[in-house]
Amino acid sequence: MIPSLRNATAYPAEGIVYLDHAATGPLATPTVEAMTAYLLERSRTSPNNFETVLPRLEAGRAAIAQLIGTGAENVEYVPNTSYGINVLARGLAWKAGDRVAVPESEFPANLLPWLALEPLGVTVDRIPCTDGCFSLQDAEAALTPQTRVLAVSWVQFLSGFRAPLAELGAMCRARGVLLAVDGIQGVGALEMRFDELGLDFLASGGQKWMLGPQGSAFVAVAPALQTQLEPMRGWLNGPVDWEDFGSTGLDVHPDATRFRVGTLATAPILGLLASVEQFLDAGTAEVESSVLRASGRLGAALDALGLSRWGASGEPRSGIVTYEHGAPDALREHLLARGVWISVRDRKLRFAPHATTSDDDLDRTAEAVRDFARTSVPVA
């Protein structure tokens, strides 16, 4: 646990053990304060603050870039992960016969944008998965001379499988394939090094492990790819002449702000910036270490109780640990009644602690599961 992050959250005071970050993360107090201050400004002292807030938005791009290991010129805001993935899916010039490779276990946000290209003659090849995990060999076998994009989740939403991005990136570069990553289950929990890994594209919402508001998200686009993508058009893709709006043309900005279609959701973005600053202050490596320690400790405790682990084997490499159980909904309700929040997805129990989770939280969770085994149906 990282005390500064835990102290920035209010839910422990309410007796809540929150292990549902893979669904939605709680808002930290600085996040709420940042959004509240902006909304009060808009409603009271400065209703038209469009121009004066721009420096704060630019500071947010720089902070996100620092968090994920790239330059601010490669980062732009989007409303959510699905929109972000469509920046790439709808931005490339496709031709009949092109192919995209996607793991079988992908969340719909990173599958449906690619399937929607099939009317253009694009084929989506599925990489076989076992318990939400795929091998590097199967990923390589799915790539053909016609493959243009390999689209994967950094962390699979249910199994917690952490994709080997360094190896996938090297494999894609050798074949001229773009590597696109859905980062929503990793960014904020794990240390992302966009430039070092040689990624082409990353999209991530801020409402899960980043502890930001819903409606806050970003894309990171490698410089060489930015000019290959045709952005959706609006009034902020390029220079604006504030003295003559009629002169606005189709020129776009030279960096990732070319993907800014129109007015941003400013309040959620400022909230996200406050969250990102918390993580930068704590240190991304330290956050990852704390997350893995928490998921490892919880996994060991639940394994010892006889629960059947589903997904990636061995020590967890993400914040997600998942179990099969004969009565998942009943166990979830039992935990919720004791203040422990988790999710049931595909009839499986998903636990997702963060760097805000204490050892006492983890012990309390294990004890609640043990209590359910004593008083109700068998655990396994």
Give the model's pLDDT for residue 139: 97
Torsion of CA 277, 278, 282, 288, to 10 degrees: -100
pLDDT at 379: 44
pLDDT digits (tens, 9 = 90+) for 319-358: 999 999 999 999 999 999 999 999 999 999 999 999 999 9
* pTM for the model: 0.94
**How far from 377 is each of 318, 322, 331, 372, CA to CA, in Å?**
29, 19, 9, 7
Beta carbons of 121 and 96 less than 8 angstroms apart:
yes
Closest C-alpha among 78, 57, 22 to residue 221: 78
Show the tokens assigned to 275. 């969250």
Pull the structure tokens for residue 155: 């962390």
Q: What is the pLDDT of residue 374?
A: 80
Q: What is the mean pLDDT of residues 155-184?
A: 97
Average of pLDDT values for 32-52? Answer: 91
On the question of pLDDT at 224 being above 90, the answer is yes
Can you give the pLDDT at residue 243?
81
Q: Give yes or no for residue 249 having a pLDDT over 90.
A: no
Under the banding of pLDDT at 50, 70 and 90, the label for residue 253 is very high
More confident of the two residues 32 and 380: 32
Residue 98 has pLDDT above 80, yes or no: yes
Average pLDDT value for residue range 253-262: 96
Structure confidence at residue 134 as a pLDDT band (50, 70, 90): very high
- Ordered structural domains, the chain, with CATH: 3-27+283-375 (3.90.1150.10), 30-281 (3.40.640.10)
In whole angstroms, how far apart are CA 233 and each of 80, 238, 320, 343? 18, 10, 38, 38
pLDDT at 61 > cutoff 70: yes
Q: What is the mean pLDDT of the chain?
A: 94
Query: Looking at residue 343, what is its pLDDT?
Result: 97
Candidates 152, 166, 165; CA nearest to 101 is 152
Distance CA 353, CA 320 (A): 7
Q: Provide the pLDDT for residue 376.
A: 65
Residue % of the chain over a pLDDT of 70: 99
Instruction: Please answer whether residues 274 and 30 qualify as being in contact, where contact means their C-beta atoms are separated by less than 8 angstroms.
Output: yes
- What average pLDDT does range 215-223 have in this prediction? 97
User: Which pLDDT does position 378 carry in this prediction?
Assistant: 52
